[in-house]
Amino acid sequence: MQAEETKPIVLEAAILEHLDAKSARFSCRITSLNNEEVKEHGIILYSGIFPNVKEEQVSIGGKVEIGKISYNYTPSLPFEIGKNYMVAFYVQSEKSFYRSGLISFKWNNVQVNPQNDLSATAGETITITGNFEGIDEKFIITDWNTSATTPFTLSGDKKSLSFVVPKTTIPHGSILNFNLSKRTTEGGNEFSTIALCRVKILATISPLERSQLHLSDAIPLKGNNLPNIYEIPADLMLIIGDQKIRYQNPLRLTSIEGLKGNNLKIGYSNGRDEIIFPEPIQLIIPNKNDIRFNEKVVHPGSQLRLQGLEFAKFFNYGSTSFKVGGAPLTQAINPFPYNLDIIVPQVADGHHAVEIISPFYNGIVSTEKIEVKALKLSGPSQVNAHVGSTIQIKGSFINGKIYEVHIGGHTIYNIIPQNGEISFEVPNLKSGKNEVKISYRHESWDSHFSTSPFTVFVEKSTITSVSPLVAYAGDVITVTGRGLNTGSSYTLGGHYINVVNKTADGFKFLIPSGFQKGKARLTIEINDDIIQSEDYIEVK
């Protein structure tokens, strides 16, 4: 008599032996049975993702034996691509319900040859090869950076898939990962997305809206996927003339060293493509006929203001130089939008044009000319004079300009000529020969001196007359002479006197009360010289 089996019914995990769109073959092994009467056995098929899981129980029959059991399953509708399925075998006895371990599976007849090193611009078409027979209307293309979907088309043989890179605001160099996903009404994508490609987004820059520009213009750049100005990628370059420079927006031509010419090709390189715009930048050329001067006549070394142009629009002063009469000079000083100040170099006397030399224009030479004349003195080279005397000097002075006279350590300021002549008073100097220098200044306060020699011989002060020669205490005495106003002391007979109405040609004083009666001479001490009147004053 056979012994009664007491172990429970044991089913090994289910096995998937075959899968296509319309059928699947499953198997399982039963390793033990008890004495329970088997009422039914079959498979349980689960589909979907929690919590939207559907369950289908399919009965195979009642009788079952230890060993392998198999079942060919045909779904009412073809398996959905990428959908999650699980299957287990079961045995229902009189006493209990037994189930094998689950096996999960997906049906997928989509194979992709992914591309991971692509670069593309917005609007560019990307084609991915593979087997796309299982694609239907529920599939979409998405990327990880945006929530937008991207339309696609399949080739007739379904061996390739194409889509257009969408327009986005992400900056140049950003990465978009495009994936194939299936749209479903069951709570989202029901399977892991299929990676299609990894794309580096490249910027595109549009041609300029205006091609005729001033050198100083800030040029705004427009396009797609332009970078943030604070994070400029190294592979995005602007092409200006014969140079490539790091991307900047707005573009400022004055910031580009070595740039030259007024017809400049312009374009860009985004690391893959090099694009040159059909229209170059054409710089607006300054009109030389508009250049005017604030003065008609100047000395070498003087400041000259150029007017008539909005100079700041046309010139980059770091790369601009100047010539007057062919002689070079330093760069401009005090550049203003509508004015330009230069220092006139040492050139021969005559009428000269001003040339502005810029790498962006062929020589700009003013139509108007400036008269340049050196400061030269005319007339005698020496004048004899007393202290306080007025001296007139003729020369190539410019009316309205300010000059200075330097003599014996003294400087006389703010002398303005009239009719080509200046005048000044001889300061308090010792008698003798004194060299005179005449200068003019410009805004930097450098002094420029005349080249002609000129001297003043200061003669010793003299008393020519004293009147009256007979006086009483309290009487007014009048003294005349030359150079009498700079005395350090005035005495009569050794007694100090107070003088009034003092000029270079004379003065007056009172006979002091109580003055000793008698005759006395007038004595004046001037610059270490002692002079006395020839006549005596008799005080009664």
Mind spelling out the 3-state secondary structure of 42-62?
Answer: EEEEEECCCCCCEEEEEEEEC
**Residue 147: what pLDDT?**
67
Instruction: Provide mean pLDDT across the span 141-156.
Output: 84
The pLDDT value recorded for residue 141 is: 87
Check whether 506 has a pLDDT greater than 90: yes
Average pLDDT over all residues of the chain: 89
CB 11, CB 91: distance < 8 Å: yes
CA–CA gap between residue 394 and residue 404 (Å, rounded)? 14
Residue 326 token pair: 């062919």
Region 72-96 average pLDDT: 89
Q: Taking residues 123-129, what's their average pLDDT?
A: 95
Check pLDDT > 50 for residue 189: no
What 219-222 contacts at long range (C-beta under 8 Å, 24+ apart), as own/partner pairs, is: 219/250, 219/251, 219/252, 219/253, 219/281, 220/249, 220/250, 220/251, 221/249, 221/250, 221/251
**pLDDT attached to residue 1:** 37
Residue 459's alpha-carbon distances to 221, 387, 425, 432, 456, in angstroms, are 78, 8, 14, 6, 9
Q: What is the dihedral of CA 135, 137, 143, 149, to 10 degrees?
A: 160
Tally of CB atoms within 10 A around 276: 12
Tokens (6 digits) for 152? 């696609």
Task: Read off the pLDDT of residues 17-39 as tens digits, 9 standing for 90 and up.
Answer: 888 878 999 999 998 887 788 89
Do residues 277 and 266 make contact, with C-beta atoms less than 8 angstroms apart? yes
Residue 191 reports pLDDT greater than 50: no
pLDDT, position 24: 92
Question: Which residue did the predictor score with more confidence, 512 or 137?
Answer: 512
Neighbours of 275 (CB within 10 A): 13
> What CA–CA distance (Å, rounded) separates 440 from 373?
13
CA–chain centroid gap for 170, Å, is 24
Q: Point out the least confidently predicted range of 185-199, 342-356, 362-376.
A: 185-199
pLDDT for residue 303: 87
Q: Report the percentage of the chain scoring pLDDT > 90.
A: 59
Compute the average pLDDT of residues 336-344. 86
- The proportion of the chain whose per-residue pLDDT surpasses 70, expressed as a percent, equals 95
Per-residue b/e over 486-515, b at no fewer than 16 CB within 10 Å? bbeebbbbeeebebeebebbbbebbbeeeb
Cα–Cα distance, 112 to 154 (Å, whole number): 13
Compute the distance between CA of residue 426 and CA of residue 436 in angstroms, rounded to an integer: 11
pLDDT at residue number 524: 93
Cα distances from 354 to residues 192, 234, 341, 428, in angstroms, run 77, 43, 12, 45
pLDDT (0 to 100) of residue 6: 53
Q: Contact 503/387 with Cβ under 8 angstroms?
A: no
Q: Which amino acid is at 403?
A: Y
pLDDT at 3: 45
Q: How far apart are CA 408 and CA 457, in angstroms?
A: 11
Please report, as a single letter, which amino acid is at residue 85. Answer: Y
Q: Specify the DSSP class assigned to residue 288.
A: G
pLDDT level of residue 488 (50, 70, 90 thresholds): confident
Q: How many angstroms separate the CA atoms of 301 and 411, rounded?
A: 20
pLDDT at 36: 81
pLDDT band with cut points at 50, 70 and 90 for residue 392: very high
- In contact, 509 and 500? CB cutoff 8 Å: yes
Residue 142: pLDDT band with limits 50, 70, 90 = confident
**Of the listed ranges 192-196, 522-526, 530-534, the one predicted with least confidence:** 192-196
Q: Look up residue 357 and give its two tokens.
A: 């030399």
| Distance in angstroms (rounded) separating the CA atoms of residues 233 and 310 | 36
- 368 in Cβ contact with 293 (< 8 Å): yes
* CB-CB contact of 309 with 241 (8 Å): no
Q: Which amino acid is at 495?
A: H
Confidence of residue 211 (pLDDT cuts 50, 70, 90): very high
| Residue 333 DSSP class | B
187 pLDDT more than 80: no
Which amino acid is residue 137, in one-letter code? E
Structure tokens at 345: 């170099």
Chain-centroid distance of CA 257 in Å reads 13
Token couple for 28: 């399982």
Q: Considering only residues 284 and 52, tell me which one the structure prediction assigns the higher pLDDT.
A: 284
Nearest Cα to 254, choosing from 280, 221, 219? Answer: 219
- Its pTM surpasses 0.75: no
Label each residue of 472-536 as H, E or C: CCCCEEEEEEECCCCCCEEEECCEECCEEEEECCEEEEECCCCCCCEEECEEEEECCEEEECCCC
